């Protein structure tokens, strides 16, 4: 018998204790049976046994399980649970930790529609990295989008990590299995053009009293729809010209704190926004929550209602539209005319604010703060092309030359740049006219 060593209460075999033996027996019905059984001790020194129909399968298990036992990553079938059971425990913990209800709902959908139908019955200790890779590829082949597959993979990895934390498995084969985003899918953010912004602002002036200040806050402060829906007057400093974000409204209209620490922020706004908010405050319906943009009931406006009652009417009135598409074809109404819809979403208005700040050469770190991004990488990943667009390479090179060679060395370059700038200004003036 192999000797065992004990470390901090755990028993680790000093050498392999595994054996493969043939079993033969006769059933009560008189039928002869044969099987191959692997006998071994696990990392805790407990006797384990697993039976196989073929010797090849038993030999493969002996090799794999032996490696896992030696490295402390083996989990016996009797100690393991199914992925469906692990997912149930994971969702229960999300409830206990009081995660956003929309987040829990999304997790539940991942489990119900994308994980359990394919992996739910499988035990955690049977899950392997090649199996997870094949699962990912299968989801893609069935037509799921790459972003959706990436989200489902993150949920699966988190499920197994929770099971690992609670002792139902000793390893997580999902780690390292990623969903690399195709370059062609990395679409650049296209904020509303200034011409479209002007048209929408003019349309908002002639719409409901609330629409004009609401549009200006979205375009110039860059608030998320969930943030503007929960914005209270106490967070609007008209004297200083700032808006502070410290709460949001979820999809069920429950007000709570921002999702991340970066969500807490104070954003400066231009005088036009201050003037519009001042005028709106004088006639804004009062509400128990003191909301800047309340519904008729004094509660946050439901997101779908904000789309139907504000986003779409403003753009349709402004003529900022695009044909509604279905299955690659324009939708035709009962009158035979092509159905049109707004060109931009509420999130597009948020991109408008970022683009305006970047155009004014606001420092990237400040843009990150005002947008409420969790990291500067998120800011660059989203708006990197806009930062690049405002860079004037020739001007940068001229300043480098002046810095090294002295003030007179770059006069010719500077003169050329000034001429070019004047030409651009004249061109922009003609375009505006």
Least confident segment among 25-29, 150-154, 331-335, 340-344? 25-29
* Per-residue pLDDT, 171: 83
Task: Quote the DSSP letter at residue 291.
Answer: B
- Asked whether residue 75 carries a pLDDT value surpassing 90, the answer given is no
Count of residues making up the chain: 433
- Asked whether residue 376 carries a pLDDT value surpassing 70, the answer given is yes
* Per-residue pLDDT, 432: 40
* Per-residue pLDDT, 106: 93
For residues 373 and 395, what is the distance between their CA atoms, to the nearest angstrom? 30
More confident residue, 170 or 223: 223
Q: C-alpha angle with apex 249: 247 to 250, nearest 5 degrees?
A: 130
What is the helix (H) or strand (E) element at residue 55, kind and residue range? helix 55-71
Residue 158 CA, chain-centre distance (Å), reads: 15
Mean pLDDT of 357-383: 93
- Asked whether residue 76 carries a pLDDT value surpassing 90, the answer given is no
Work out the mean pLDDT of the chain and round it to a whole number: 84
Percentage of the chain surpassing pLDDT 70? 80
- Asked whether residue 101 carries a pLDDT value surpassing 70, the answer given is yes
CB 83 within 8 A of CB 159: yes
């Amino acid at each position: 018998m192999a000797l065992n060593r004990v470390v901090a209460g755990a028993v680790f075999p000093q050498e392999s204790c595994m054996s493969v033996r043939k079993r033969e027996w006769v059933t009560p019905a008189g039928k002869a049976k044969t099987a191959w059984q692997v006998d071994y001790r696990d990392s805790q020194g407990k006797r384990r046994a697993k039976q196989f129909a073929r010797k090849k399968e038993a030999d493969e298990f002996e090799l794999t399980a032996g490696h896992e036992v030696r490295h402390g990553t083996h989990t016996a079938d009797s100690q393991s649970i199914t992925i469906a059971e692990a997912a149930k425990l994971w969702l229960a913990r999300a409830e206990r930790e009081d995660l956003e209800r929309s987040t829990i709902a999304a997790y539940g959908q991942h489990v119900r529609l994308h994980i359990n139908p394919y992996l739910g019955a499988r035990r955690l200790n049977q899950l392997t990295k090649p199996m997870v890779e094949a699962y990912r590829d299968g989801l893609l082949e069935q037509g799921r989008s790459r972003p959706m597959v990436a989200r489902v993979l993150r949920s699966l990895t988190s499920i197994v990590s929770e099971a690992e934390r609670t002792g139902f498995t000793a390893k997580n084969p999902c780690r390292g299995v990623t969903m690399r985003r195709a370059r062609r899918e990395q679409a650049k953010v296209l904020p509303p053009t200034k011409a479209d912004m002007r048209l929408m602002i003019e349309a908002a002036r002639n719409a409901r009293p609330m629409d004009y200040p609401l549009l200006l806050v979205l375009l110039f402060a860059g608030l998320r729809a969930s943030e503007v829906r929960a914005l209270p007057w106490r967070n609007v400093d008209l004297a200083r010209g700032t808006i502070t974000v410290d709460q949001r409204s979820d999809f069920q209209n429950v007000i709570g704190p921002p999702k991340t620490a970066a969500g807490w922020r104070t954003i400066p706004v231009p005088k036009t926004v201050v003037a519009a908010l001042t005028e709106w405050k004088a006639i804004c319906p009062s509400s128990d929550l003191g909301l800047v943009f309340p519904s008729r009931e004094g509660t946050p406006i439901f997101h779908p209602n904000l789309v139907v009652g504000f986003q779409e009417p403003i753009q349709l009135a402004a003529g900022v539209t695009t044909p509604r598409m279905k299955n690659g074809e324009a939708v035709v109404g009962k009158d035979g005319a092509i159905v049109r819809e707004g060109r931009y979403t509420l999130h597009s208005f948020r991109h408008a604010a970022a683009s305006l700040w970047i155009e004014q050469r606001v420092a990237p770190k400040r843009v990150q703060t005002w947008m409420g991004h969790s990291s500067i990488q998120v800011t660059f990943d989203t708006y990197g092309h806009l930062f690049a667009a405002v860079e004037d390479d020739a001007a940068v090179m001229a300043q480098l030359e002046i810095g090294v060679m002295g003030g007179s060395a770059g006069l010719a370059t500077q003169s050329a740049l000034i001429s070019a700038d004047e030409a651009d200004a004249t061109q922009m003036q003609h375009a505006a006219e």
